[in-house]
Amino acid sequence: MNPVIENNFKYHAATGDKGERHDKVRALCKELAYEIELLCPQSRERSVAMTKLEEVMMWANAAIARNQ
């Protein structure tokens, strides 16, 4: 068995302060999303920036969930 695959594809309950850290990541990404919306004209580039910000949020929360 590969321990990395096993870890990456299992459910990770939010224990300890993980829930609070997930909330903080989401709040910060949401704040930045509103700033991008204000500062950047509606365009493909802004859409890509928003998509990448969603990816940042997802990977940051995966880091919290998957690791101690």
Residue 68 pLDDT > 90, yes or no? no
Could you list the residue range(s) of the whole structural domain that residue 29 is in?
A: 17-66
The answer to the question of residue 4 being in a domain is no
pTM for the predicted model, two decimal places: 0.89
CA distance 64 to 28: 15
The answer to the question of residue 10 being in a domain is no
- The predicted-structure confidence for 10-64, as pLDDT tens digits, reads as follows 999 999 999 999 999 999 999 999 999 999 999 999 999 999 999 999 999 999 9
The answer to the question of residue 9 being in a domain is no
The answer to the question of residue 5 being in a domain is no
The DSSP line for 1-68 is --HHHHHHTS-----TTHHHHHHHHHHHHHHHHHHHHHHS-SSHHHHHHHHHHHHHHHHHHHHHHH--
